């Protein structure tokens, strides 16, 4: 049975399973955010190598070695993007927490624009009261979802294949407001 006592289950499940069920064959993951044991339990549902770190350690890495990078809420800038581009593989996926359209529309647009310089696909997604961005160099989060992976995950409270798909759907005014900024 799923653990409903964890207050972060939606964050943990969505920040793990959205990128890991989007990438075709993730093997090596970098997580640069504060995580709890439940986040690690969600990550352990996938057969991947995970490195938990902080943003400062991104600067010390040199090779394109990561399939997926997961970031907490950050002020992303050109320097951080240069480090991400240096270590993310050519078919890599980035998931990061951002501001909501209602709370700070300009921050969301700024994050999407900056990520759009390096990624083919840059799409916001939401769950609960959290907004995040999935940026991908190759895989589309709804067209390329790995159904064998997403449909077979067990012991979940929030994430499902249907929630994965619907988290990228927004009301018309937000969709219009992000047109030519989000890369869908």
What is the 8-class DSSP label of residue 58?
G
φ/ψ of residue 9, rounded to 5: -60, -35
Kindly list the domain boundaries of the chain, sorted by start residue.
9-177
For residue 1, how many C-alpha atoms fall within 13 Å in the half-sphere facing its CB?
A: 3
Q: Which CATH architecture has domain 9-177?
A: 3-Layer(aba) Sandwich (3.40)
Specify the pTM.
0.94
- The token duo for 182 is 């989000």
Question: pLDDT of the chain along its 184 residues, tens only?
Answer: 455 666 789 999 999 999 999 999 999 999 999 999 999 999 999 999 999 998 877 777 778 899 999 999 878 999 999 999 999 999 999 999 999 999 999 999 999 999 999 999 999 999 989 999 999 999 999 999 999 999 999 999 999 999 999 999 999 999 999 999 999 9
Report CA Rg, the chain: 15
Are 143 and 157 in contact, with CB atoms under 8 Å apart? no
Question: HSE on the CB side for 45, CA within 13 Å?
Answer: 21
């Amino acid at each position: 049975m799923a653990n409903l006592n964890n207050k972060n289950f939606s964050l943990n499940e969505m920040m793990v399973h959205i990128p890991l069920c989007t990438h075709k064959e993730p093997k090596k993951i970098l997580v640069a955010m504060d995580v709890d044991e439940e986040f690690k339990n969600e990550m352990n549902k996938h057969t991947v190598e995970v490195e938990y770190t902080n943003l400062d350690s991104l600067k010390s890495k040199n090779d394109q070695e990561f399939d997926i990078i997961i970031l907490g809420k950050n002020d992303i800038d050109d320097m951080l993007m240069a480090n991400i581009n240096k270590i993310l593989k050519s078919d890599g996926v980035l998931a990061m927490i951002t501001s909501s359209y209602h709370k700070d529309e300009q921050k969301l647009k700024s994050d999407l624009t900056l990520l759009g310089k390096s990624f083919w696909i840059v799409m916001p997604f939401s769950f609960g009261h959290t907004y995040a961005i999935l940026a991908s160099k190759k895989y589309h989060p709804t067209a390329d979802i790995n159904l064998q992976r997403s449909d077979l995950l067990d012991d979940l409270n929030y994430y499902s294949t249907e929630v994965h798909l619907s988290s990228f759907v927004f009301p018309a005014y937000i969709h219009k407001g992000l047109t030519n900024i989000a890369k869908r």
